Amino acid sequence: MNKVITHSLFTDFDIDLFKAGKHFKLYEKLGAHLLEVNGVKGVYFAVWAPTAQSVSVIGDFNYWVQNEHLLQVRWDSSGIWEGFIPEIEKGTLYKYKIQSSIDGVITEKADPFSLYCEKPPHTASVVWDLDYSWKDENWMHSRKETNALDKPFSVYEVHLGSWKRGEHNRFLTYLELADDLVNYVKETGFTHVEFMPVMEYPYDPSWGYQLVGYFAPTSRFGKPQDFMVLVDKLHQAGIGVILDWVPSHFPDDSHGLGYFDGSHLYEHPDRRKGYHPDWKSLVFNYGRNEVRAFLISNAVFWLQNYHIDGLRVDAVASMLYLDYSRNEGEWEPNIFGGRENLDTISFLKEFNEVVYANFDGVQTIAEESTSFPMVSRPTFTGGLGFGMKWMMGWMHDTLQYFQKETVYRKYHQNDLTFSMTYAFTENFMLPFSHDEVVYGKKSIASKMPGDEWQKFANLRLLYGYMFTHPGTKLLFMGSEFGQNDEWNFEKSLDWHLLQFDYHIGIKNVITDLNHLYKNNPALYEKQFIAEGFEWINYSDHQNAVVSYIRKGNNPEENLIVVCNFTPVIRYNYRIGIFKSGKIVEIFNTDAAKYGGSSVGNNNDLQIESIPYDGRDFSVELILPPLSVTVYSFK
């Protein structure tokens, strides 16, 4: 005898929205929900499995026996199976046992909408709730202003499992991180943290980019409410939270979304569109309404229930192109004969429209590595609708330039200045991400040429150039103190390096650059528009020096930036200025506190009526070796 009571959370309108792909709060209906029905407490289960012949809930409450608790399929051809099981409590382990009507195959699946999962390598879902009393009212109230595109975004990218480890190399918990990480991010001055995927994933070496539990923060570090505490405390410290989000692909683990009900339910049935050859994973079917609703509901879920401030969408390029990592004959053109995935483009536009229409102050950020047009332009102008896009070309060209011995840099200055030819075609974020410090690429610090002094001077120069270049900023953990070794996800960062002066100096320079960025509107008010930048001189190849002006809304607050990419001190170096008066050096990467040689301009500098660089006025500077110096007008 079946022990499941007929019950439903779905209205006819819910079903119509679901079928149309327009239900963006599916997590309120599908999944496991603690309820009281007719005075009896228990759990309502609902799962989408349209080709199933039968669906049973199995778990520790029924000794994992099939057919003890059979769900009922709805009459409306939605493919949803549902039912209420009395006396099940929070913390109960469960899965769905699904027998396919196609070939009788039986799958045993975790709940796609589970709020909490067993700690890997265990794979069951856990009945849970999201009860929590938030204390971040001030942040949420001011977020629309704080998180705007004309405000500072200095992002600290974090892998929770390896930022810091506890005794015997154990993971720190969300609650421990809510103290240590929050204090550290506040101390170093970053405006945001970006967490590499926190959604449940089975395989540690995937770093979280192969997800199984899309609605569950990983249990490696604690319970869902513990993750809420971490987000809450970051907000209370004035720090925004961005999550990596992976709608591009998912693993084929037996308990996951793949072949869910014996059919290609979530993945595209055509292997040319439904399988990713690089990652050996499955690709979502973006043309299926219910799958689109699942993914957009997932985005809304994190923004709504975890107060997340931004989503960085992973691997967008792999989604946009039908021929991505495929050889000739392994892909099929779209209906217009092109290589663009039209279903993906439509999905990404709708995702961004839903996010921006429903959440004030939230930003979406695309990791998109090609020249696909208008990624960060509004959908009503034909764009994809993202708030920002990673500037992968800048990252590649800049690191390539900096890895050259300084004596050769005069021959490659165009590599450095090229970014300004396209810097304002998108709302660009400048990333030095985890991808640049793995797989033999070495750490950012280890890429720098020269002896020890020059390596660290180059690193300070790199960061000074990054923070004064138009665009928002992202830096992977460990890079802010000059980690020597490549990132290893299996252990803590090398925090012991902070006992050494050069590494302390890198941390100090990043801290001060963060404050320089936040405290000078010229560095952020027009960071995405051409009016915010003006070259003074980009053609002094012989000296490997560039100079430019950063502009905000108030011309009196404009800043002058001069970069010297060689270890040679440049005395009496003249640059053109557009007005008379005085300037003062407000920042210098060669300062002693950073491990530099203390060369610089200590006094006010008088602007002279000597034409130079096509301007009526000019000033003479001392340029420290391998340095960025920043000047404001008196």
**Residues 142-176 as b or e (16 or more Cβ within 10 Å = b):** ebeebbeeebbbbbbbbbbbbbbbeeeeebbbbbb
**Does residue 350 have an active-site annotation?**
no
Instruction: Tell me if residue 323 is catalytic.
Output: no
- Residue 334 CA to residue 340 CA, distance in Å, equals 7
| DSSP three-state, residue 502 | helix
Whole-number Å distance between alpha carbons of 356 and 352: 6
Which residue in the list 136, 314, 512, 525 is annotated as catalytic? 314
The structure tokens listed for 435 are 């991808």
Residue 429 CA, distance from chain mean position: 11
Query: Are the CB atoms for 485 and 478 separated by under 8 Å?
Result: no
Instruction: Report the C-alpha gap between 304 and 301 in whole angstroms.
Output: 5
Contact predicate 627/582, CB 8 Å: no
CA-nearest of 243, 240, 237 to 151 is 240
DSSP 260: T
Cα angle, residue 211 at apex, residues 257 and 284 outer, rounded to 5°: 50
Cα–Cα distance for residue pair 348/343, rounded to 1 Å: 9
281 with 251: CB under 8 angstroms?
yes
Q: Find the helix packing angle between 501-519 and 452-468, rounded to 10°.
A: 10
Residue 409 · residue 565 · CB < 8 Å: yes
Would you say 369 and 392 are in contact if contact means Cβ atoms under 8 Å apart? yes
Q: Burial letters for 325-362: b for 16+ Cβ neighbours within 10 Å, e otherwise?
A: ebeeeebeeeeeeeeebebbbebbbbbbebbbeebebb
Q: Pick the catalytic residue: 14, 194, 350, 367?
A: 367
Active-site positions?
314, 367
